Structure 1
Amino acid sequence: MKQKLLLTFLMIFTIKSFAQDSKFSIELNYPIPIDENLIGRSYNGIINAGLKYNFANLDFMNLGVSLNSGIFKNTKEDRVQPFDATIYIFSPRINSEFKIKSLEKLHPSVGLGYSIVNFRADVDRFNSETNSDVSSSQSENGVNLNFGLAYDITNNLFLQIQYDFIKIGVDNDVPDFKYNTNINLVKIGLGYRL
């Protein structure tokens, strides 16, 4: 495991030596669900990872695309229901990072995209036909709006904080209330420009 982790870091840092002015960046965040809603009330953030590519560098902003993925967990100890639940969120989006000449180390950003939210429950009931535990999965999707602020530690390494608002659609049998449709996340982490 240590060898794989060391090899991964070595590959990331050597990519920079071959790429002059690369437009890629990677990020690793801790996601924090907020607000009184389906996720904020019952789930804990585990990890959020992202990849960004800037396809246009203008004087006052960078335009690009990004893909973020997050994992949230709720275990039996957290709920009355007898099952473990995990939520996976995938968010591709278009984003812009603004350049402020008087504050060169700060980079506010805004993004607009789409999120796929996958709910997976592993139930403790045993299925005698398949000799395994019963599990179920359900996906919802909707619009994603992202606001962020990055602070450069070095030319390549940066700290960041982001806010994600996700508005998902629900099935006809689920009430269309804010509790069931609005997801609010704060993400705090590090990024590295390759």
Structure 2
Amino acid sequence: MSRFTLIETGIGGLRIVERQRLGDERGFLSRLFCAEELASAGWDKPVAQINHTWTQARGTVRGLHFQRPPHAEMKLVTCLRGAVWDVGLDLRAGSPTFLHWRAVELSADNGRALLIPQGFAHGFQALTDDCELLYLHSAPYAAQAEGGLSATDPALGINWPLPIALRSGRDERHPGVTPEFTGLDLNS
């Protein structure tokens, strides 16, 4: 019996993961990850790294972050406390949905996750104060492969649901998309 329902977003490989919660008067149990069950969604590597973030203030935006090949990674992002508006942006060279994005609300209440394939940028906006996210990564972080795009680039047209209250200096310095940017070649 599968504990996950995978919902297509219209962008190849970017999926919402709805988890089945088994509950009673004590609370609930929810499976956060299962390699066997997520293999059909493209997760074909071990979990290489798990990160935990806390975002203090509503309106804060983090991202848009990605890892260049050969260090490209899949992510499974889950909200453990609060609520976020989570964005996946297709950066795959030659993809029919290149530079298209989708967003989904992830919250402690809805228990959803976003499965982000290799070749995507990721970012989110905190919809509440005190948001905590858990990230499972298919590859370890590689500083030399780190990349980022401006979350406010008009060429991307991301409609953040709240006024942006705070971004890191690093995120504010991320460039917008230029005509020279043809995407990430995952075969390199």
Q: Give TM-score, length-normalised by structure 1.
A: 0.27
Q: Give TM-score, length-normalised by structure 2.
A: 0.27
Larger-Rg structure:
1
Larger RCO, structures 1/2 (Cα 8 Å, 6+ apart): 2
Give the structure with the higher percent strand: 1
Give the structure with the higher percent helix: 1
